[in-house]
Amino acid sequence: MATLTDADLCRFARDGYLVVSGAVPEQLLAAADDEIGLLIDEVAPQEGTGGPGQNAWFQPRVRLPRCEDVLRKSDLLRIAGGLVAPQSLKLAFDQIQVAITVPPWSHIPGGGHIDVARDQDPPCSFTMLAGVLLTDQSTPQSGNLWVWPGSHLDHSALFRERGTRVYQQVGGSLFSLEPQLLLGRRVEVMGKRGDLVLTHYLLGHNKGGNVASHVRRTIYYRLAVSGHAERWESTFLDPWTEYTPVRDALAR
136: enclosing H helix or E strand: none
Report the alpha-carbon distance of residue 176 to residue 174 in Å, rounded: 5
Residue 238 maps to a domain: yes
CATH code for the domain in which residue 112 is found = 2.60.120.620
Residue 147 maps to a domain: yes
Residue 4 maps to a domain: no
In this predicted model, what pLDDT tens digit does every residue of 140-195 receive, in sequence order? 999 999 999 999 999 999 999 999 999 888 888 888 888 888 788 999 999 999 99
Report the alpha-carbon distance of residue 204 to residue 202 in Å, rounded: 6
- The predicted model gives 215-238 an average pLDDT of 97
Residue 32 maps to a domain: yes
Question: If we measure between CA atoms, which residue out of 137, 18, 37 comes closest to residue 76?
Answer: 18
8 A C-beta contact, residue 146 and residue 188 = yes
CB atoms within 10 A of CB 219: 26
Please check the confidence at residue 214 and state whether its pLDDT lies above 80: yes
Residue 3 maps to a domain: no
CB atoms within 10 A of CB 97: 21
Structural domain including 63 reads: 9-251
For the chain, give the percent of residues with pLDDT over 90.
88
The total number of structural domains in the chain stands at 1
Question: If we measure between CA atoms, which residue out of 149, 158, 198 comes closest to residue 181?
Answer: 158
Beta-ladder partners of 200? 128
Residue 241 maps to a domain: yes
Residue 101, classed as helix, strand or coil, is: strand
pTM, rounded to two decimals: 0.96
Beta-ladder partners of 100? 55, 217
| pLDDT, greater one: 121 or 39 | 39
Residue 147 is predicted with a pLDDT of 98
Residue 43 maps to a domain: yes
Residue 46 maps to a domain: yes
In this predicted model, what pLDDT tens digit does every residue of 47-98 receive, in sequence order? 999 999 999 999 999 999 999 999 999 999 999 999 999 999 999 999 999 9
